[in-house]
Amino acid sequence: MAHSETLTGLAALEARLRQDLELLELPAKSWVPPRTYQDQAVKDVVVIGAGMCGLAATAKLMLSGIDNVLALDAAPAGREGPWVTFARMETLRSPKTLQGPALGLPQLTFRAWFTAQHGSEAWQALDKIPKDQWMAYLVWYRHVLNLPVHNGVRLTGIAQAEGLIELQVEGFTTSKIYARRLVLATGRSGLGGFAVPAFLQGIDRAYWAHSADDIDFNALKHKRVAVIGAGASSMDNAATALEAGAGAVDLLIRRKEMPRINKMTGIGSQGVVHGMHQLPDAWKWKFVDYTAAAQTPPPRSSTLRVSRHANARFFLDCAIEAVKQEANGLLIETTQGAMRYDFLIAATGFANTFNGRPEFAAIAPHIRSWADGRYQPEMGAPRSGMTDAPDLGPAFEFRERVAGSCPMLRHIHCFNDAAMLTHGKVSGDIPAVSAGADRLARGIAASLFAEDVDSHFASLVAYDKPELEGDEWTDSTPLLKQENAL
């Protein structure tokens, strides 16, 4: 291997990373006993989703010596997650300096990756991270750690197979994979899908799209477009429509005022990261409920990207009462009156109701949610998205609604946005994903170790490599006996 001092750019960074890993004795030695089931090798962990959370989780498991792992993603390589698909912002909202998925390794940070290629001056000059660059960084992260990711592989179903989990998959060498633990790093929509308001039910999809759909913005040229919502995605979609030549774009915003303060980001700290999941439930509820009520504002730059167009309008206090499909468009009845549009974009976010995805149909009815006892009326008014949040264990594992009804749930870990009420924001956003991956990997390591305790104890008993050869000392007891006899 070339010495790191003779290398430059990314090659030098990669050499430094290898050296750091060596200094830290990482990856740790492999320690989980292998298993087979029906003549097939069993995976210790399968991670579904190789977006940022799936990559961080896979990396942390591998570094912890749990290396019989597979990460599967339905998307083609380099197109996982939102960044180069439906994310329509120019840059990330997050500050460029965040550790992100680097797992405490300085050479694995975005900053190290960027600086290695473009230098320190370019780093100083960089404002926010362009989204395509963030995707390129994640691609590098996966390659430099040699993570076992398979793309074009979709999980289509889950079943119990004795003590294991049977994964039904499409696009892989086998149609079934057996795993001891399953991590669902399936992203924002987590276990559900798009949140679609009731007034859009039955409206022809030719007239509306969800903000995370693949939208043909060129088709919106000269058209009247309505965008519902006041979050980051509404701004990004409105701006993209305006830049594509839309005739007019109206933001229909139910709230009387734009949310302007990013509350949870404002109080971000290691206390929040490590303390939130240990708080009593009433406190967890209070934090998440308050944040949901306050709402997260869209970034200033995204809002300006819309408002700089003369044909963009912001309608506040403009709740939608009904949407009617007409011969050539939509009639939208709002609290501010009726308006006609050619197309509507619903930036209405995602739902985690477990029922939106066929691949989770077998487990969905058994998953215990906060509504199943963890939520108490004295915490405050019930809020959808919170009462239906899964009630998770300390390593993000699901719990059964009825004991014994679906035992594999305790081996299925919900490492996505749906975990927020139980665990805080450690399995979705960039700032604390390393802490989340650490919590997950420790929990999985402990539970695999406990499950294999017989085998580990047998290894203890069988271990017979001497440290002492027996020639390092002489036994003086006979001398003592002689002395006592005198």
Ligand X SMILES: Cc1cc2nc3c(=O)[nH]c(=O)nc-3n(C[C@H](O)[C@H](O)[C@H](O)COP(=O)(O)OP(=O)(O)OC[C@H]3O[C@@H](n4cnc5c(N)ncnc54)[C@H](O)[C@@H]3O)c2cc1C
Q: Answer positive or negative: Cα dihedral of 137, 138, 140, 144.
A: positive
Hey, what are 251's tokens?
């933001």
Q: Closer to ligand X at the Cβ: 330 or 412?
A: 412
CB of 84 vs ligand X, minimal distance in Å: 11
CB of 130 vs ligand X, minimal distance in Å: 11
Task: Transcribe 352-372 into DSSP letters.
Answer: --S-S-GGGTTTGGGB-BGGG
Q: Closer to ligand X at the Cβ: 330 or 437?
A: 437
Q: Closer to ligand X at the Cβ: 57 or 164?
A: 57
CB 76 within 8 A of CB 152: yes
CB 249 within 8 A of CB 238: yes
CB of 386 vs ligand X, minimal distance in Å: 19
CB of 89 vs ligand X, minimal distance in Å: 6
What is the rounded distance in angstroms from the CA atom of residue 58 to the CA atom of residue 412? Answer: 15
The DSSP letter of residue 221 is B
Hey, what are 475's tokens?
């036994």
Q: Closer to ligand X at the Cβ: 366 or 425?
A: 425
What is the rounded distance in angstroms from the CA atom of residue 323 to the CA atom of residue 92? Answer: 33
Q: Closer to ligand X at the Cβ: 129 or 332?
A: 129
CB of 48 vs ligand X, minimal distance in Å: 5
CB 389 within 8 A of CB 370: yes
**Residues ≥6 apart with Cβ < 8 Å to 383:** 289, 292
Q: Closer to ligand X at the Cβ: 14 or 81?
A: 81
Q: Closer to ligand X at the Cβ: 142 or 224?
A: 142
- Bridge partners for 41 per DSSP: 36
CB of 446 vs ligand X, minimal distance in Å: 23
CB of 152 vs ligand X, minimal distance in Å: 9
CB of 334 vs ligand X, minimal distance in Å: 26
Q: Closer to ligand X at the Cβ: 358 or 407?
A: 358
144: helix, coil or strand? helix
Phi-psi sector, 158: left (phi>0), alpha (psi -120 to 50), beta: beta
Q: Closer to ligand X at the Cβ: 175 or 336?
A: 175
The helix (H) or strand (E) run that includes residue 43 is strand 43-48
- Which residues of this chain interact with ligand X, rule CB under 6 A? 48-49, 51-54, 72-75, 80-82, 87, 92-94, 154-155, 185-188, 233, 359, 416, 428-431
CB of 379 vs ligand X, minimal distance in Å: 26
Task: Transcribe 412-470 into DSSP letters.
Answer: EE--SGGGHHHH-S-SSSSTTHHHHHHHHHHHHHHHHHHHTHHHHHHHHHH----SS-S
124: helix, coil or strand? helix
Cα–Cα distances (Å) from 375 to 151, 292, 382, 425, in that order, read: 38, 16, 8, 19
What is the rounded distance in angstroms from the CA atom of residue 434 to the CA atom of residue 475? Answer: 54
